[in-house]
Structure formats: C-alpha cells, structure tokens
Structure 1
C-alpha cells in the first residue's frame, strides 16, 4: 500500500481520462449500494423516500473517499465521523464483519438513523471501510416512530446501540438480531431493512473489488489522493473569493419541545484568504428537550451548507480541509450524554445551515439565497389496523419552499436542505396504512415577498379510516417563518391542526407535539413553510407581480396588488 507522499506523486502523473473514470467509478460503487439498499428495503421511508446513504471511507481516520450521488447530503460528515468512531472502538474487525451502531454520541445523528460499517479487504489486506445509513421508522422509545418531542434523556428516545458485530465473518449474529427486534414495534419490517443494508455493503464490496482489479491498487490509491488534492484546491479557490472579514448571524428554533422558548444558533464566520472558520459558541446552552444536536451532525451541517453555496466542488475529504468548525462546547448544538437528540438531524441541522447562509449572505449576496423552509416536517403515526390485524408505524416528511435567490424565485415544494429525499407517494401510504389523504396541494401565497419571492410550501390533510392511532410531530419554523435577505420578507410559518371528534386542536409548542390519539374520522392538517424573499418587494418586476395576481398566489397580499 502506498504512503501519502507516494500516492500524491503518482496521482499527479495519472492522465485526466483515467482520473475521471476512477472518480466516477468510485461514485458508481456508492450509487449502486444506494440502489440495492433502496430496492430491497421494506420501509417506504427508505424504498420510496430515499432516506439512506452509502459511502467509501479511508483507513485510520475514516476520511471520506466517495459517497453516492443518491445519498443524503447530511451524512457527508456524519458517516465519516461514524466510521472514525468505529475504527477507534473496534480493533478486532475481520474480513466479513459488519458493525451495527446508532449511538448519537459516537458519530451519529438520532437513534432512527442506524449505521452499518464493513471493513473491506482486498487481496487479504484491509483497504478501506464501506459504511451506510438507513432511517428505521422505529427503534422503540416512548412514541411510535421515535420523534418524541418531550424526551428529557436519550433513554426515552429508543434503543441505543454501541458499535457491535451484527455479522461476524460473514454470519449474522442471530442473538443480537433478536435483541434488537425485541425492542422495536414492527419487527417484521425491520428485519427486511437490516438485510437490505447488509446487501448494499455486499454489493459495494463486489464492485469495489472489480474496480481495483481493473486499475490496480496503486493507481486507485493515487487517484484518490489526487482527487482529494483537487477538491481542496477548488474549495479554497471558492473561499478565496469571499471578502476577508468576520460575519455574524443567528437562526432560531421554535422551542425544545419541553420549555416553550426559542433556542438561538449564533454563528461567527471568519474568512481569511482561502481558510474559513465557524464559531457557534454564543448559541443557547443545552436544552431539556430533544432539540440538542450531537457534534457529528453540527459539523456535517456546516459542510452541507457550503456544498449548497459551492455545488461544483467534488465531495471527498479534501474539500473539508479549508474548513475549521470549533466545537461549541456548552451549547445545545454539542450534545453530550445523556441529552436527548431526536430532532438534531432533521431539524437542528437545517437551522445551523440557515445561520451559515444568513451570515455569508452579508459577504456574497450574489451567490446566496433567502432562507428555505428549513424543516423536514416529521410526522409519525402508529397504531393497530383492525382490518389486517397488524400493527403499523408510518413516518412521513414533506417539502417546503426554498428562498428567493439573486436571479429568480425560490423552488416550490423542495426537499429539505439536508437531503435529496422525496415525499412518499400518498398512494403507497394509503395502501400500507389505514388512512386517506383528503387533500394535497401547494400552499399558495406562502413564499416571502421580495424582488424574487420565496417558493411555496405544501398543504395536506389526512384522515384516519379505522382503528386508533397515536400521532407525534417534530417540526420547525412554526414560531418564526424562514427569513428573507436584503429586505425580503419571511415565508409563511409552519401550521399544524389536529381534529379529534370534530374538535380542532393546535399543539402548544406550535410545531411539536406527541400522543395525539386519533380515532376513525379524525384528521391531521399540515401547512409547511414557504421560503424567504430576496430583495425588496417594491423592486419586483411588474410582469412577475402580474403573474402572481393572475395565478392568485397572493389574493390577500398587499405587496402583490
């Protein structure tokens, strides 16, 4: 195996065609892992909504070599940290082993994002690690689906798994599997998801072996070193275009689900040449409820924010080199045991990104955009279906508006800013669960006004048809709508309404709540946020204003009159 200097020297001599083919080959290995994971999973949240990711990670520190284009961006930094923690925790890994882990404090997110790490051996020697993540709709805990909005410690949120051997020398550890399944509400669905993740890693090992056989170990290692060097150089070139200085901004969470007060994420961004530093030390202290964020998630959120701003930079460990994120010790975005963290990956991470966007908009407004919806809209519904005689858990997330940008209106009904996941088709959900979507539409008028308005959120209403179910919500941007920039207005905030026996109820914490028991005919209605506006509404093109009126997007909005 080449050392770093040898790999770097050889990498510079590889012709551009071969380098590109190897780069795409590594990505294809990961993307095929994604597809196997998707097509063989039992849970609709993975098979239909793509809430998963697969990647290749290096020896020693688990540095990211490649991640599939079909994987969730938030796992860019998270799985690198997960793999590093597994390497540190387990020095007994052998060919054919697979490690199972979901511990948030060991490079994780929330308990529902379950990771697997497989050491990859090539010609008898450990060469790298293959890792993946899949969102399991349930890992036990106080509420079906795991999105408990009132948890005050991690043990209330579900089963916490340290790095343990799920597969030993190619053989699944049945005792461990039975222990895991005994702590999960819908065990028959989870075993399918477990085998799907293992199958994805197996496919990755087969394809990576073929790639190494074709080009040779030395050439592939050299190509990886060169790809890292080029990615770092490109990221530095982008950062170097940001004017030197310190830029500050804040974003706010609605509440932690327990104490009904906002939480602040305050960031200070220092740009010095081609280096960039992020300091979140002025953020709110650790909170009682499940809106704390573990370090791996906070770090990854910064990486993904910069990926949104500079989308052309290839993603590998090299692009992270110019980025320094100081650990925000003593704040709610550096959670330590036993702080609850159910909302960190889906919600807090997006507010971290929003703070970064708002700060850098002061420096490079011509490359930024107003705040997006910034919530995954986590909705869980669990119960018993008397028609099938089976228990069920539905986990659903929805889209929202993106912010207006320097050359156009924001995207309508876009996915969350941490992922590429799509909302599950309502027809699939209606087939699997005892419910009916009575309506699903764009939330017209929800985009913040501006020279370029924000995109629209969505509105949907579902009705429970039979049996009883228990609903839980963990969403955001209900107290504050996504802010605009350069004088643009905020997008419409999130709104949730539950109807129980004809009586309408709104959650006390606006965007969060749990244990809402539904009977036949009861409904849940959700209106997701629109994106913020970019620039002053008075500067909006007259034809665009006329089109807004024609489409009746803003029937009651004075700015569009």
Structure 2
C-alpha cells in the first residue's frame, strides 16, 4: 500500500515569501496572529499534560509519561493534526490518523457537544490495545471546528498476560480487549455500558477509573481553552492557524529533503526472534528513493509478520519514518500532519511493520517500529556524512512481572526494571547521551523510590557500563547496567529483542555500540546478595538473551552462542532472584583516533572507557589507576603518538 498523508500544491509560494495580503488570504489572519495563536494552542496541550501528570494514578502514566495530547482540525480540513504535546512520539505520530479513522467510522454527524469518543484498535489507529485514544469534538456555532484528544496507556486491558507486555501471545484474541469507536461520555454523561465493558475485562479498574475521570476533565479544559481562543481571535483565524501549522512543518521538511542528494539508499535492522521459537529472524529492510523534494520510503522487502505479537501496524511504521527523517534531516521540523506531506510510504501487507489480524497481533509495537528508525539511519548515514546521527540502544528490553506478597496481596511491575532506558548515539554536536529512551519514545525514568514502594523489589544497581559507548570522535552513549532483586516469587515476562547485531549504528566513520544481554541470578541458598560484573560472575547465571560465551555465560559477541529470550515463555523466579539487564550501546560519530586525548582521559577517569579500551579503541595510552587515584591519571603522549601512528 502507498500512503501520502496530505495533498500539496508545490507551486504555492513559500510561506516566508508571501506578502501580508497573500498570507491573510491563505490563513485567515495576519502573521503575528497566526504565530501567537499557534503558541497559545501549544499551551493548551501542555496545560492538559501538566494537569494529567499531577492527577494520574497509574504508575505507567504517573512515572513514565506514557500519554500524549493533540489538537486536530475538522472534517473539511481532512482532520489535520496541527498541535502536539511534548510527550510520547509513538502516540503523536499515529494520533492524526487515529482521530480521523475513529470519527469517520463513528460518524461526525452523530457527535454532540460533551461527547468523548474512544478507540484502542491497533489496526484502526496504531499503537497497541493498552493505548486508548480519547477524542472530544469542539463545537462553534453548531458545527465541529476541532478535536481535542488524549491517548493514554492503561495499565491493563485484559488478555492472557497481566499488563499485556509479553512477546508470547499468539493472536489478537489473546492480546486484550479491542474497543471500536464508541462513546465513553455522551453529552457530558458517562456511558455505563462502555465503562462496564472495559472494567469487566481489565484487572486494575480501580486505577483506570480515576485516570479516565482525569482525562475527561483535561479534555474539558482543552475544549474550554480552544473555545476561548476562538472567541478572542475568530474561527477563521483559528482554522487558518491549524493549516499554517501543518504547512510550516511540510515546508521545512520539504526543504530538508531537498538537501539530500538524489539516489536510492538501502538499510536494514534485525529483530532476533519472535516469542514462539528462535528459528526465524525478522529483518526490516528499507529502500529510500530520493528525488528532488520528495522521498519514497519503501519497506516492502521487510520480512513477513511475526507469529507472536511483536509486530507493529503501518501507522506505527509511518510514525517511525517521520521520527527518523526529522532527526536526521532537520530536528526543528514541527511534528504535525504536514511532516509527511512530501514522504510516500510503501509497504507490503502482512510484514512485521504492517501486521494484519488475527495471527501475530500487535503488542510490542515500538520494537518493530523502532527497527524502522534504525534501518533508515543505516541507509542515510553513509550519504549524510558529517550530518549523520549514530544509532540508539534499539530495544527497551521490556520487563513485566507480577506475583503475591508474603501476606497474599497481588503486585505488578511494568516497564520499570528491564532496560527501558539507555543510550543515544553521538552526533556532530557531541557525545551521545547515556541515559534516555529510544528515539521514538519520550518517557520519564521512574524514581527508584517509587519502583521499590510499589513492588517487592530493590534496585541494586543502575549504572553506565564501561567500554560500551561506540568509539568515535564523539563517543556513543554508554550502555545501562541494571540489577533488580525480587523479594518474592514472580512471573517475569522478558523481552530483549535486539541482541544479535548492533542497533547503535555508527555515523561518519564512528563505530557501532556493542550489544547487550539479560541474565537471571537465582539465589541457591535463598540469601540476598550483590552480583559482580567480572566475567566469572556470570557462571551461576541463567542466560535470558544475548550472544554469550558457552562456558562463562559472559558477553561474547564475536564467538558466543545466541540465547533465546522466550525459551521460557514466562520466567518463574524464586524469591531473592536478581534480574540483570545490559542494554546495547549507542553508536559513535567520526573517526575514533581523531578524538581528543584529553576527552579520552576524561572518559577513563569517569569510567566510561577502560585503560585497555582507551588504547584499543582510541589509540590513547593512559597511565594510572582510575579506581584508586582517578585524579592522578595522565596521558603518555609519546606512547600515544606512536600507537596512533601504527
């Protein structure tokens, strides 16, 4: 299928070249008013976000920022998504289509003031079933002039796995409750049947209910603020500003695309296996056809959809295309429907990035869609040269666990104790950040105190691992090493999907970041203990995923054996088991031997790089003891010059 989001008249004069009269004729107001109104609408979605964060009960919203707010235009404008919050990218990219598809299917003529329409079907609106879209029409003089929207992750939406995060579910029927477009509130009154449908199928209705109420109030607030802006500036200026916002994005992206040399560029990224067995790998393959101001992103050679729910839908793939091209070509492009106007997306039906129901299903969608970003980076970095951006850690290595406390209370922990956060790659501007989230996400990192308060766990270790940033003139971000000690028996669902080959691709001569892995350390005597990081410490581990030495079970990407993450569909762990997750490293930018020796010395002092790694990867000879005398470290300049010469 081929998708172009909005038609564009490329013969139109660029916005900056419009006269004042031409601008007013196109957008229904002057430039100053459009700029002011655009910023005021940004305030609307940020105000809603702040209120929701303050009131949220579910930890995945409260601690992870797992939601987004948008404003879309009316049907006569083809529902453009013109304003987005500073929040979750995988939600923002799909919300324009989600709103259009839900409203068109339900029928815009049936909507009334005070209605809230919901839908969570991944095939109608992207994402997965836990991510529910809430859509509220905004009326002016009896007609719909906008939609104010929120998408928020619900802690559980039924299915065979508490919380939903699992790669082992086989089809949409195991995945969870699917809600077609239907009203949750009708003219301001709750629809009892819809509430009952949801809470009869979910495990934690007590946390979902107050979040639903808060979402309703934030939508009320958003509508009130939008109506206030319409009253102040007029409906023509408001509607024109929505068009202006999308046109601005389209124009800036069009100019960014034009700077890329014409040509056909190929890239790929690997997902190790699905949740059924390790007999199949899944490779995302992309060909970018760049001509003039247009680019076609062809994913049709991507492998067929997985047999378990690690797939994503075509709308998620479209989101990742927008994220990748924005980051590589112009990070200042505003993320609106206009972002994709000069981008065509080509997919074949039924691939891992264009899944079709019922088999396979969509749950861990950000993993497959994140691989789309990696594949585009792989394709474009060679042609972008110094403008290239190195890759990130690739997989969130998502952890989901549940069990009973000693007094019999049920507990759950989701997306807190795996490798959900990790490094980015380096750029021409500097080293990669060592602790953030995937390029397609924008989450917060839950506080350790919150994690330990809500679940029977202690986070023993959360640190940067040495020698794990991709070498370069600018170093990739370091991998994150996290140890979590679980006090009670637990059912653990572990999903590290990209440990076979580096996800942190290099840029402009930089080297990739190394791969990570995941292990369980049972307690043979039931005692609680710390686990070391030397190779010998892994002998008593149970490998979950990674390419590991068969004897020591330590990382060995060159000669090791692959361990399959779902060899146990549910990892049943005894009390006082330690879960260790090591993420992949971020890619490096530029020739490593061009890195300033003083920067390498600083990395050794801060234990981003070992003394051996400084010599091996950067040709810098550092003398001293970084543990016992970090301030006494020095560079052997003569030995460094000789080593770099060799």
Please report the TM-score for the alignment, with normalisation by the length of structure 1: 0.93
1:44 is the counterpart of 2:63: no
Q: Select the structure of larger CA radius of gyration.
A: 2
1:157 is the counterpart of 2:157: no
Partners of 2:245 and 2:140 lie apart in 1 by: 21
Q: Is the 8 A contact 2:305 2:351 kept in 1?
A: yes
CA deviation string 1:471-499 (max 9, x = no partner): 11223322222222344322122311123
| Residues 65 and 13 (structure 1), Cα distance of their counterparts in 2 relative to 1, 3 Å cut | closer
The counterpart of 1:419, out of the listed 426, 441, 452, is: 441
Q: Is the 8 A contact 1:247 1:362 kept in 2?
A: no
Q: How does 1:353-392 map to 2 (within 5 A)?
A: 353-387=373-407, 389-392=409-412
Alignment match, 1:434: 456
| Residues 192 and 385 (structure 1), Cα distance of their counterparts in 2 relative to 1, 3 Å cut | farther
1:26 to partner: Cα distance: 1.1
Alignment match, 1:478: 499
Alignment match, 2:239: 221
1:533 is the counterpart of 2:588: yes
| Residues 129 and 442 (structure 1), Cα distance of their counterparts in 2 relative to 1, 3 Å cut | same
Partners of 1:225 and 1:179 lie apart in 2 by: 38
1:124 to partner: Cα distance: 2.4
The counterpart of 2:284, out of the listed 261, 265, 277, is: 265
The counterpart of 1:74, out of the listed 60, 79, 90, is: 90
1:258 to partner: Cα distance: 1.9
1:328 is the counterpart of 2:348: yes
Q: Is the 8 A contact 2:459 2:483 kept in 1?
A: yes
Alignment match, 2:550: none
Provide structure 2 residue ranges, at least 5 long, that are not aligned to the other structure.
1-8, 13-20, 525-539, 546-562, 622-646
1:428 to partner: Cα distance: 0.8
The counterpart of 1:285, out of the listed 300, 304, 324, is: 304
Alignment match, 2:617: 559
1:507 is the counterpart of 2:547: no
The counterpart of 1:275, out of the listed 287, 294, 311, is: 294
- Give the match's secondary structure for 2:132: strand
Alignment match, 1:522: 577
Q: Is the 8 A contact 1:145 1:382 kept in 2?
A: no
Q: Is the 8 A contact 2:411 2:455 kept in 1?
A: no
Q: How does 1:95-494 map to 2 (within 5 A)?
A: 95-260=113-278, 261-309=280-328, 310-387=330-407, 389-396=409-416, 398-466=420-488, 468-482=489-503, 483-494=505-516
| Residues 177 and 384 (structure 1), Cα distance of their counterparts in 2 relative to 1, 3 Å cut | farther
1:210 to partner: Cα distance: 1.1
Partners of 1:351 and 1:480 lie apart in 2 by: 12
Partners of 1:194 and 1:504 lie apart in 2 by: 43
1:131 to partner: Cα distance: 1.7
Provide structure 1 residue ranges, at least 5 long, that are not aligned to the other structure.
none
Q: Is the 8 A contact 2:350 2:356 kept in 1?
A: no
Please report the TM-score for the alignment, with normalisation by the length of structure 2: 0.82
| Residues 124 and 217 (structure 1), Cα distance of their counterparts in 2 relative to 1, 3 Å cut | same
RMSD: 2.3
1:8 to partner: Cα distance: 6.9
- Give the match's secondary structure for 2:469: coil
- Give the match's secondary structure for 1:538: helix
1:543 to partner: Cα distance: 2.1
| Residues 166 and 7 (structure 1), Cα distance of their counterparts in 2 relative to 1, 3 Å cut | farther
Q: Is the 8 A contact 1:477 1:511 kept in 2?
A: no
Q: Is the 8 A contact 2:155 2:163 kept in 1?
A: yes
- Give the match's secondary structure for 1:126: strand
